Structure 1
Amino acid sequence: MATNRWLRPEVYPLFAAVGVAIGICGLQLVRNMRINPEVRVNKEKRAAGILENFEEGEKYAEHAIRKFARSRPPEIFPNLNRFFSDPQKN
């Protein structure tokens, strides 16, 4: 049976990874449909043509996560990087 083949405990991490990926794609799709200034779902907004609304585009591009990440160092493990790059201090 197909259930015996696919519903084994070894396959659960695969289902979890695919589920997380589908969730991230769904959230990004909803985010773009709701607040992206270049996406227009309503017919009235589509009829407006190209809008020169730079403030709305800036607000969409400069969200809170990007502002937070900009002030952080571009490293995943800064302490570990310092440990291996400068062993004299340790």
Structure 2
Amino acid sequence: MASHTVNRWLRPEVYPLFAAVGVAVGICGMQLIRNISGNPEVRVTKENRAAGVLDNFAEGEKYSQHALRKYVRNKSPEIMPSINGFFAKPDVE
């Protein structure tokens, strides 16, 4: 019975499914670690939880304005801007 299940799921056709699920789990894990280690509103230790509400705006600003957000801040919200411009802008003659 167990070999039948293994033969059913370990085919080359399901490798992309395993890859997609693996990437999704990796992204979720990365975000979980980022929130636990860097989010100023998450307090893991008992001493930090006892501190109550902290008004530390600089730490919150540092967390929310991370490097990826700074990189895409002034970018055009298009996936392929040159191709979009080619098809969207009329030819001027």
Q: TM-score range by the shorter chain?
A: over 0.9
| Counterpart in the other structure of 2:10 | 7
Deviations 1:39-88 (A, max 9, x none): 00000000001000000000000011100000211110001101110141
Q: How many residue pairs are counted as aligned between the two chains?
A: 89
Q: Distance in 1 between matches of 2:74 and 2:85?
A: 19
The AA in structure 1 aligned to 2:21 is: V
1:55 to 58, 61, 75: 58
Q: 5+ unaligned residues in a row in structure 1: which ranges?
A: none
Structure 1 residue 16, shift from structure 2 partner: 0.0
Q: Quote the sequence identity (%).
A: 66
| Counterpart in the other structure of 1:86 | 89
1:41 to 39, 44, 69: 44
Q: Distance in 1 between matches of 2:90 and 2:82?
A: 12
Q: Distance in 2 between matches of 1:73 and 1:86?
A: 16
